[in-house]
Amino acid sequence: MRKLSTEEIKKIELEILEKVDMFCQKHNITYFLAYGTLLGAIRHKGFIPWDDDIDIQMPREDYERFIKVFEEANEYENLKVISPYSSISKHTYVKVIDTRTIKKEERVYYADNESLGIDIDVFPLDGQPEKLEDFEKWYNKKYRLYRLHNVSIIDPKALSIKKRIVRPFIKFLGRDKKYLRKAEKLNNEYAFSECEYVGSTAGLSNSKRNRYHRTCYEKTIDVLFDGHTFKAPVGYDEILTAMYGDYMKPPKSTQSTHVNECYLKEKGDN
């Protein structure tokens, strides 16, 4: 294996995004740039200088269809969709990985013969309860389930002693990804197309701030990202303001958000 530089990792991620964009346009699947990728497109017209990953979102219906159609179509031999229910997945959302690469994720436990590759993250956009108090109750139920799921998949060395002790019990009760399935059942209680408020709240990394008027996602607009045109939500200003405040002003102190090591497979590697 050959270790890849940050710039090489970004180049591969951008290639994945280009292919996902082409696939979505071909199959009429809606997606939006999200999180730091959306911020990078609006503020820098590309990657945030200290960021090294790519995130997109899809309305739940498009998200589920993307998983199914991408696998069936098999249009890109080096790309693979890893759904949350895949046996190798340790995440609560979809990843599109480049199978020619290996990514070693900090804190996530993989067996010796397991690994994912360089990827882009795909998050589902779900409808949400209209009343704020109902939303918070609904969100907190899911958050507890995602915490249990997280304890069952995280590297035990990254846990507190107390959590290490109870981890085998939590893992046993959560076999076959039961915590994840219960959380996803809650996600599907509210249809994206029928709710006033929507957002991505699947997983611990998606906070309560992910709550926006559905009009923000009523249509897409074209934005530039590293010389390529991709799709962004029409309400990007409301989304980015809620998430980052004065988002056009970069923070004074910056640091890379990820420290994963990535490698290019060479002849003979599995």
Q: 63-101 as b/e, with b when 16 or more CB fall inside 10 Å?
A: bebbbebbeeeeebeebbbbbbebeebbbbbbbbbbebb
Domain contains 171: no
Q: Which residues contact 209 (CB under 8 A, 6 or more apart)?
A: 242, 243
Query: What residues in the chain have per-residue pLDDT under 70?
Result: 107, 109-114, 158, 253-259, 268-270
Name the domain count of the chain: 1
211 to 31, 98, 136, 231: CA distances (angstroms): 17, 31, 11, 20
Say if 250 falls within a structural domain. yes
Residue 168 falls inside a structural domain: no
The pTM of this model reads 0.91
Asked whether residue 152 is assigned to any structural domain, the reply reads no
- Tens-digit pLDDT profile for residues 136-159: 999 999 999 998 888 877 777 767
Domain region containing 196: 2-146+179-264
| Pair 98, 119: CB distance under 8 Å | yes
Partners of 56 in the beta sheet?
33, 122
The answer to the question of residue 269 being in a domain is: no
163 belongs to a structural domain? no
For residue 16, the model assigns a pLDDT of: 98
Please report, for residues 71, 81, 172, 222, the alpha-carbon distance to residue 26 in angstroms, rounded to integers and kept in the order given: 15, 17, 42, 16
Helix (H) or strand (E) holding 53, with range, is none
Integer CA distances (angstroms), 138 to 4, 38, 91, 135, 145, in order: 41, 27, 20, 5, 11
- Domain contains 23: yes
- Within a domain: residue 251? yes
State how far the Cα of 230 lies from the Cα of 56, in Å rounded to an integer.
Answer: 10
